[in-house]
Amino acid sequence: MHFRSVVISNLEISPGYRRIRLTAPRGILEAQPGQFVMVRVRDGVDPLLRRPFCIYDVGTFSTEYPDSRRCYYLEILYKVVGTGTSILSNLHERDSVDILAPLGNGFAPGEPGEEKLLVGGGFGLAPLYFLARRLVDASPVKVFIGGRRKEDVLCVTEFERLGIDTYVATDDGTLGARGLVTEVLGDHLSLEGKRRAVFACGPEPMLRAVARMCAGRGIRCQVSLEATMACGLGACLGCVVKGASHDEKAPDYRCVCKEGPVFDTTELLWEEAGCEVRP
């Protein structure tokens, strides 16, 4: 869908991180966890390109003035890191932006009843919160959140409100366990007796580590990749990664925007036994 969207709210939730709620057509309710949107943050040619953001949530709300009616929204969780997100952070209620949504492919929910482990860091938690809301009624869900410091740990309260066990790790020990979130995940994966599926989104080193851990235990793992995107539609080929069957004679490239951003880790070429994704 291509639509004009009006800002409902744009709140700072932690230093440098914000969550923006935007009006959307009814069709946004068909969006799946892991899909994303492309936002033109302001009219004109500066900046020229849209910015990609994973969907944090979608839902409905009712207006009170001038008349009562049902409306629809989408939410984006983002970090202010450059020109585009700086412009986005300065939008106020009733400002408007131009949006393409929903785009890409989302997470496959897996089998009912198996334990779902969600692993994320920073704004990589955005698609995982959306996923958790869809999974929690059918499966046991646990979430593992990592960050450099406590200010980078997001959405703990939101996950806990869903009744989800939440585990936190920070590099400096200012919140939760001291160390990497993958270490906390590894301790949990060492427990026997449960069928599990893992879903991850966040920094590339974290995804490499999670993919390696799951491969060694025969656990299905899906990752949502972060990539610079110019079009979001697979036309520019600016966000390709190597597929698992890649070789010099038969190159296998995957567009993150069109074929992802969610991939099963077995679909990608993880260099050196799960240590690196090559863009």
Using CA atoms, how far residue 38 sits from 80, 131, 275, in Å, is 16, 19, 30
Residue ranges in the chain whose pLDDT is less than 50: 272-279
Q: Assess whether the previous peptide bond of 102 is cis (omega < 30° from 0).
A: yes
| Per-residue confidence (pLDDT) for residue 246, from 0 to 100 | 60
For the chain, list the domains and their CATH numbers. Answer: 2-103 (2.40.30.10), 115-227 (3.40.50.80)
- What is the distance between the alpha carbons of residues 42 and 166, in angstroms, rounded to a whole number? 37
Query: 124: which DSSP letter?
Result: G
Question: Parallel, antiparallel, or unpaired for β 115-121 and 96-103?
Answer: unpaired
What gap in Å lies between CA 160 and CA 211, rounded to an integer?
26
Give the C-alpha separation, 261 to 79, whole Å: 18
Three-state DSSP at 271 gives helix
pLDDT at position 273: 34
What is the reported pTM? 0.92
Residue 276: the pLDDT is 41
- Convert the pLDDT of each residue in 184-240 to its tens digit: 999 999 887 789 999 999 999 999 999 999 999 999 999 999 888 889 998 988 899
Identity of residue 144: F
pLDDT of 179: 96
DSSP code at position 25 = -
pLDDT score for 45: 84
